[in-house]
Every structure is written in structure tokens, then in C-alpha cells.
């Protein structure tokens, strides 16, 4: 998996990054308070904004969620043809929105339909605490694309009673019964993604990638029998299908135009065909054509052909991510979640960050890993800062801040990869932060000073190193299978930890000064190391419930990286666990020695991946990345109580509004902002409700 998520407030903040990790948390200060509301346009339920308007980033806040807006700078600089391309790609993405809901849980679409019917038709008391709890529950379900928390994977618990819900159903003539009704209140399907093998990786997971009676052993045995036509180019078996039992036999239900989720996929294809017609160049058009073919047929060879064409289509101002891609939601790492990100090139920032592309081979050659695990030639890496124009599926409302694709190792080795940093998303986080947690959890004033001085730059450089160098680095030994086959349920956390370690190792390297990226690499590295350890050992614990183990892959990788270096450096006093005024802190005493430890762990992590050493991966993750000190966890919760800022953030999308002439041709596309989170969610259901809720539950 190659997705980076923010767990930090950029700008003058302490910063830490990790791919698909944290769907946003904060421990940094506000650069500017939210601006006043901009004028609303009631007839369209949107706000019209320009880049020069004082922009209101904050939309809503509820439970543990903050909803923000983002702008699309440079929109008016695009040609009409380019704007059309963006619009068509955004519509293609939104057309698959319901697929993500269906993938997350088999009853999600039924439950959403019932909740939204209640919300839009209830005429009773809307000032009561029960109604407020209902509204909050619905918003949480919207945010998570289903009834399981978007980050912890735990089932959302309603704050209203079953009796009150029955009243709402009756008074709005809403029908919801059977398992879809009971599961809201009972203890069944409590975890969307379960990584505790004792409970069964699949039987203990509610995610709808497998039939309810399919076990992990059965699924792995099913795919072990499949052989790719070319073993050097292994197909991504399982990526675009649901595995179920029919008459006792395992059968794949393939996502394609005439297959599972076909109605939504057919609509996606129709918009992609429009996009293909206005492509910027032949390579871009070729890639779009192959993506259409893939959606039409569900053929995995076509998927690989598309990825090769996509990664080689580097010219043009517009790019996109679309399809079934990331496997984090699959406990055994085969099946891809639907997602879409449409992006516009940020020319200025991309030029500044191209230095990593130009020097990626130097980083590979000087990495502290075994020579046999290094690539002789790192090819085709591109890194761009982009402006997001729209997101859907697994990328929305909770969004990454950076992405590196494709995921297939053989394509990355032979054809390269694309890495992007989502500049306007980062800017929105930057403008909506808060500083309280930095001051609470940092050990001393020097740690705070370094975070405030280097936090923003540290975050950008770690993201770039993680994506461009980290995911592009290293190679698997000949004859060793893909990591999903060798490292199994530990593949994702091992890969993200490996990429994090590459970034951590180089953030204190004088090479960054030589390249003109930073004036003082030592201080930058200190700020980065402080932030990483502080987050892993303390702040990120706010994301799990007391008594729970760590299960999310990125939380695990931050924990096992940090806990390992703390233990290995104990004899030399590299990191000291400090109790001050009854509060726990981590004080780094020897930053250079810590860098060496990061290098040692990177070497071992790369060896594990290169050799497919499952037992070593299991021991590393289970011994260092899963268990939580419950006393410290409770302490962190208590220390966080005074702070009001929600630990997770996500976004509403700007709305692209086309204007047509008498012939129906688009002559102008205006960017507007939704009035509210609920307005956008209800509008999405109205426009993109393309799947039968019963199809997902079968």
C-alpha cells in the first residue's frame, strides 16, 4: 500500500507521517483562525468562492471528527478542455461512491438509506438530546462510509436507544429490519478489519470482501493454486473481486460492467469515455482507454497493462487515481478498495521537489541495507505536488496527503512509479490546526522550538522521502513471492514501516543540505525524531479505546519502529522515558545514535521483505507494535481531556458546476463549495445512488 495520511497539523507543528495512516490527528498550532463565513447561495446549496476570498476552512465538528473545506487554486488558469477533463474524472469517481460503502460492510447501503430517510422526513422534536445523538451517529456513518469507524475499524455505537430508533422508523415510515436493523445495537460484526488471528482474520472481520463463511486459510489456499502466465509479472489475483462460497465451492464475483457492482461501474465507464475524448495527449488517452477496458472486462492482465500505461503517462497538467487499489481493508491483503483522486499539477512546488527524483539513485546506493537488496537502477520515479480537484471512495471524506502508485513491485521495478503530495489538502490542514497537544506532550522547550521551526518542512521532506525513495527502494530476492503472499497480514505494516524508516534515516543526512533542501539537517532531523517518537508512544494512543490492542497497519508501524529503537538503545541511554509532574515523556538523548538504530532496523526490515521472512515479520510486529501500556494509555486520555480539537479530520469536496449552451455543450465550469457536510452527503445519495442495497448484502 502506498498511501500517505496526515496524523499531524502541518505548519508550525510537530509533524509525523505514514502512508495510509492516520486519518488526521493534530498536535500543532494554528497559523490562522477560521475565516468568517462566505456568502451563501441558497438556491444551489453551495458557496461560491474565489482564491482571493477570505476562505472558511471549517465546515462542521462532531464526535471525534472535524470537517474541512479545500480550495482548487489555479482552476481559472486551466483551459476549458482541461476543466472538462477534470469534471469528467470527478464525476467518474463519484459514480463509484456506493461501491466503497458496499465493500466496507454488506448492510451499509440499507442502513444509510434508512438513516437518510429518517433525517429528511422526521417532523418531530429536533431539539432533544436523542435527536442530536441521531444526527451525530448519521454524520459519523457518512464520514466512515459505513457503520465502522474509518480509522479504528470498530463498529460505531449510537448514543440513542433502540426504542427511540423504533420511534423514528415508525414516524417516518422507514423500513429497516432483520440483521441490518439488529447490527446497529448488538455485538455482531464489531470489527470491520480484524488482525487478531485468534479470532480469524476473515471470520472476525465485517468487511464485505468475502462471504461471511470464508476463512483466511480457504482464501489463501484458493489463490495459492493460481499461476500467473508470466511468473516474473505476477497478476494481482483477488484485487477486483469478492470471494464467496456457492454450493460449497469458492467463487470470485468480479467487479465489472456485467458483474458485481455493474450498475455503478457502467456509469463510471460512461464518464471515463468522456474524459478519454478530451485527454491532453495520446499517452493519457491510451491509459484511460485501458482503464475503460479493465472496468468492462475485469481482466487483471488489462489492469497491469493500464498501470504500465498510466505510470508512463507523465505529461500533461491533469492526472487521476481511479479503481480498486489499496488493500489495507483486506485482512489478508488481496482485495482493493475503490477510490478516486483527481489532481491538477502544482507547477511551482513540483519543480522544488523534483530534486528527490533527480537524486533517488544516490539515496538507494547509500541506504544502510544489504547490497544484494539494493536496486542497481531505480527507474521512472516521478514526484509531484498536486492540487486536488475531487475525491471519492476510500479517499473521501478522510483523505490522504500523499500517494505513491502503482503497488505491483514488478511494475515499479521495470517502469517506475508516481508519487504525489496533495498540496491544497495539506494547506487546508495547515490552516485549521491547533497547538495545544504539542505543548502538552513535548518533553521540553527545545523540543517545542524545533517543532515550531521545522515542523512544516519536516513533514514535507518526510513525505517526499517516504514516497519517492522509500517505496521505490529495495528489491525482493529472486524466487521470493509478493509480500502479500510471504508476509501475509503483516505485509502492509511492514511496507509502511520500511518507507518510514527510509525517511527517518535520511532526514538527518547532510545530503539534504547539499541538495539545498534545508539549512540545518541536524536540527531538522531532531525535530522529526522527536515528533515521530512522541506520536507513536503517546499521542496516537488517543485513536484507540482503552484496553484495545493496536490493529491499524500504520499505527502498528509507528509503534514497532519506535518501541524497537527504544529497547535497542536502552543500554546506551539513547531515549529516556521520563516522568515529570506525574506525566510521561520521551526524551531523546543521542540523536545520532538513534539515526544509526533507524538504519539498523531499516536493514532488517528490508531483509524481511526481500527474503519473505514471515516469522521475523510476525515477531517484530507482535512483540513491538500491538500491545499498549494501559497505564500510559489512560494517562494520555486524561491529559488530552482539556483539548477541544477533534483528533480526526476530513473534507467535503468542492462542487464543479458546468454551464451549457443551447446545444448542451459545456461552455464554462464554476467551482463552488457545499453549504454543509449533510448537504453534500444527501446530494451525493441523490445523484450517485447507483447500487441496489440488496446486492451488497447477498
Q: What is the pLDDT of residues 429-439, one digit of tens each?
A: 877 765 678 99
- What is the rounded CA–CA span in Å between residue 519 and residue 312? 34
**Between 366 and 463, whose confidence is greater?**
366
Residue 563: which residues within 8 A CB-CB, separation 6 or more? 536, 537, 624, 625
Span of 35-49, 113-127, 155-169, 656-670 with lowest mean pLDDT: 35-49
Residue 397, preceding bond cis, omega within 30 degrees?
A: yes
294 and 346: one domain?
Answer: yes
Do residues 249 and 273 both lie within one domain?
Answer: no
- Checking if the pLDDT of 3 tops 70, the result is no
Would the pLDDT of 48 be above 70? no
Helix, strand, or coil (residue 341): strand
Residues 526 and 416 in one domain: yes
d(CA 670, CA 47): 11
CA gap 522, 376 in Å, rounded: 29
> Does 276 map to a domain?
yes
**Residue 101 falls within a domain, yes or no?**
no
171 pLDDT above the threshold of 80: yes
Q: Which of 213, 238, 254 is the last residue of a domain?
A: 254
pLDDT exceeds 60 at position 141: yes
Judgement on whether residues 596 and 522 belong to the same structural domain of the protein: yes
Does 379 share its domain with 244?
no
In a domain, 181, yes or no: no
Residue written as grid cell 488482525 = 195
Same domain, 592 and 531: yes
**HSE of 258 in the Cβ direction (CA atoms, 13 Å)?**
4
Q: Would you state the pLDDT for residue 431?
A: 76
Q: Where are the alpha helices (DSSP H) in 122-225?
A: 129-144, 162-171, 178-182, 216-224
270 and 247, same domain (yes or no): no
| Angstrom distance (rounded) from CA 590 to CA 464 | 25
User: With 70 as the cut, is the pLDDT of residue 42 above it?
Assistant: no
Distance CA 27, CA 436 (A): 7
Does residue 26 sit within a domain?
Answer: yes
Residue 123, all three cell numbers: 417532523
Task: List, for residues 618-651, the tens digit of each pLDDT value.
Answer: 999 999 999 999 999 999 999 998 887 788 899 9
Grid look-up 422526521 returns 122
Average per-residue pLDDT for the chain = 90
The verdict on 267 and 309 lying in the same domain is yes
Q: Is the pLDDT of residue 6 over 80?
A: no
Q: Are residues 235 and 276 in the same domain?
A: no
- Average pLDDT rounded to a whole number, residues 327-343: 97
pLDDT computed for residue 480 by the predictor: 95
User: What's the angle, vertex CA 479, arms to CA 476 and CA 482, rounded to 5?
Assistant: 55
Instruction: Identify the residue whose cell numbers are 495520446.
Output: 282
Q: Are the C-beta atoms of residues 272 and 92 closer than 8 Å to each other? A: yes
Q: What angle do CA 140, 145, 147 make, to 5 degrees?
A: 60
Last residue of a domain, one of 631, 650, 669: 650
Q: Show the cell assigned to 177.
A: 429490519
Scanning the structure block, which residue is given the C-alpha cell 521495478? Answer: 413
Q: Are residues 73 and 222 in the same domain?
A: no
Asked which of 650, 669, 688 is the last residue of a domain, the reply is: 650
What is each CA distance from 145 to 99, 104, 432, 693, in whole angstroms?
A: 10, 7, 23, 14
Number of independent structural domains in the chain: 2
| pTM for the predicted model, two decimal places | 0.78
Question: Residue 568 domain-assigned?
Answer: yes
Indicate whether 242 and 265 sit together in one domain: no
Relative to beta strand 58-62, strand 65-68 is antiparallel
Whether the predicted pLDDT of 419 surpasses 80:
yes
Could you tell me if residue 415 is inside a domain? yes
Evaluate if residue 41 carries a pLDDT over 60.
Answer: no
Residue 697: pLDDT band by 50, 70, 90 thresholds? low
At 127, give phi and psi (nearest 5°).
Answer: -105, -5
Domain limits for position 586: 3-78+260-650
Percent of the chain with pLDDT over 70: 91
> For residue 362, what pLDDT is reported?
97
pLDDT cut 90: percent of the chain above it: 79
The enclosing H or E element of 446 equals: helix 445-464
| Domain assignment of residue 660, yes or no | no
Give the residue-averaged pLDDT of 674-693. 96
97 occurs within a structural domain: no
Same-domain check for residues 514 and 635: yes
Amino acid at each position: 500500500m502506498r498511501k500517505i495520511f496526515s496524523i499531524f497539523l502541518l505548519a508550525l507543528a510537530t509533524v509525523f507521517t505514514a502512508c495510509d495512516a492516520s486519518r488526521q490527528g493534530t498536535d500543532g498550532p494554528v497559523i490562522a483562525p477560521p475565516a468568517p463565513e462566505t456568502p451563501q447561495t441558497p438556491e444551489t446549496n453551495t458557496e461560491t468562492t474565489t482564491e482571493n476570498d477570505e476562505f472558511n476552512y471549517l465546515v462542521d465538528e462532531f464526535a471525534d471528527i472535524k470537517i474541512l473545506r479545500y480550495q482548487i487554486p489555479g482552476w481559472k488558469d486551466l483551459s476549458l478542455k482541461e476543466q472538462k477533463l477534470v469534471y469528467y474524472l470527478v464525476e467518474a469517481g463519484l459514480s463509484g461512491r456506493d461501491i466503497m460503502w458496499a465493500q466496507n460492510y454488506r448492510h451499509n447501503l440499507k442502513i444509510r438509506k434508512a438513516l437518510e430517510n429518517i433525517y429528511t422526513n422526521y417532523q418531530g422534536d429536533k431539539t432533544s438530546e436523542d435527536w442530536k445523538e441521531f444526527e451525530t451517529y448519521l454524520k459519523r456513518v457518512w464520514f466512515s462510509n459505513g457503520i465502522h469507524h474509518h480509522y479504528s475499524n470498530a463498529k460505531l455505537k449510537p448514543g440513542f436507544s433502540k426504542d427511540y430508533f423504533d420511534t423514528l422508523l415508525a414516524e417516518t415510515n422507514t423500513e429497516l429490519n432483520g440483521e441490518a436493523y439488529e447490527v446497529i445495537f448488538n455485538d455482531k460484526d464489531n470489527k470491520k478489519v480484524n488482525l487478531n488471528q485468534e479470532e480469524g482474520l476473515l471470520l472476525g472481520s465485517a468487511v464485505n470482501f468475502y462471504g461471511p463463511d470464508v476463512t483466511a486459510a480457504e482464501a489463501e489456499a484458493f489463490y495459492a493454486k493460481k499461476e500467473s502466465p508470466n511468473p516474473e509479472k505476477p497478476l494481482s489475483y483477488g484485487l477486483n473481486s469478492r470471494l464467496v462460497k456457492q454450493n460449497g465451492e469458492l467463487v470470485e464475483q468480479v467487479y465489472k460492467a456485467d458483474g458485481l457492482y455493474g450498475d455503478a461501474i457502467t456509469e463510471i465507464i460512461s464518464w471515463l469515455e468522456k474524459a478519454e475524448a478530451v485527454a491532453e495527449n495520446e499517452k493519457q488517452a491510451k491509459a484511460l482507454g485501458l482503464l475503460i477496458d479493465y472496468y468492462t472486462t475485469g481482466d487483471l492482465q488489462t489492469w497491469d497493462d493500464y498501470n504500465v500505461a498510466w505510470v508512463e503517462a507523465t505529461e500533461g497538467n491533469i492526472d487521476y487515481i481511479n479503481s480498486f487499489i489499496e488493500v489495507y481493508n483486506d485482512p489478508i491483503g488481496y482485495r482493493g478498495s475503490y477510490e478516486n483522486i483527481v489532481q491538477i499539477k502544482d507547477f511551482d512546488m513540483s519543480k522544488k521537489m523534483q530534486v528527490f527524483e533527480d537524486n533517488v539513485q544516490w539515496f538507494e546506493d547509500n541506504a544502510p541495507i544489504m547490497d544484494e537488496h539494493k536496486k542497481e537502477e531505480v527507474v521512472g520515479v516521478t514526484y509531484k505536488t498536486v492540487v486536488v480537484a475531487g475525491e471519492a471512495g476510500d479517499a473521501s471524506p478522510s483523505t490522504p496527503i500523499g500517494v505513491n502508485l502503482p503497488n505491483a513491485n514488478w511494475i515499479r521495478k521495470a517502469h517506475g512509479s508516481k508519487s504525489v503530495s496533495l498540496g491544497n489538502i495539506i494547506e487546508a490542514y495547515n490552516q485549521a490546526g491547533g497547538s495545544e497537544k504539542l505543548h502538552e506532550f513535548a518533553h521540553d522547550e527545545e523540543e517545542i522550538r524545533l517543532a515550531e521551526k521545522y515542523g512544516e518542512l519536516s513533514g514535507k521532506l518526510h513525505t517526499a522521502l517516504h514516497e519517492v525513495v522509500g517505496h521505490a527502494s529495495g528489491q525482493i530476492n529472486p524466487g521470493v513471492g509478493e509480500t502479500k503472499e510471504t508476509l501475509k497480514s503483516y505485509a502492509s505494516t511492514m511496507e509502511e514501516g520500511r518507507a518510514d524508516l527510509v525517511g527517518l534515516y535520511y532526514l538527518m543526512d547532510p545530503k539534504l543540505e547539499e541538495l539545498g533542501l534545508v539549512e540545518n539537517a541536524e536540527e531538522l532531523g531532531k525535530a522529526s525524531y522527536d515528533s515521530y517518537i512522541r506520536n507513536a508512544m503517546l499521542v496516537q494512543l488517543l485513536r484507540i479505546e482503552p484496553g484495545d490492542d493496536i490493529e491499524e497497519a500504520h499505527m502498528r508501524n509507528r509503534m514497532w519502529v519506535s518501541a524497537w529503537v527504544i529497547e535497542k538503545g536502552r543500554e546506551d541511554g539513547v531515549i529516556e522515558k521520563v516522568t515529570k509532574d506525574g506525566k510521561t515523556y520521551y526524551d531523546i538523548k543521542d540523536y545520532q545514535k538513534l539515526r544509526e538504530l533507524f538504519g539498523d532496523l531499516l536493514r532488517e526490515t528490508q531483509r524481511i521483505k526481500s527474503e519473505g521472512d514471515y516469522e521475523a515479520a510476525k515477531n517484530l510486529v507482535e512483540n513491538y507494535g500491538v500491545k499498549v501500556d494501559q497505564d500510559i494509555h489512560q494517562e494520555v486520555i486524561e491529559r488530552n481531556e482539556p483539548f477541544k480539537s477533534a483528533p480526526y479530520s476530513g473534507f467535503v469536496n468542492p462542487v464543479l458546476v458546468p454551464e451549457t449552451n443551447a446545444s448542451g455543450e459545456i461552455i464554462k465550469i464554476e467551482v463552488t463549495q457545499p453549504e454543509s457536510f449533510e448537504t453534500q452527503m444527501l446530494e451525493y445519495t441523490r445523484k450517485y445512488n447507483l447500487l441496489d442495497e440488496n446486492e451488497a448484502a447477498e
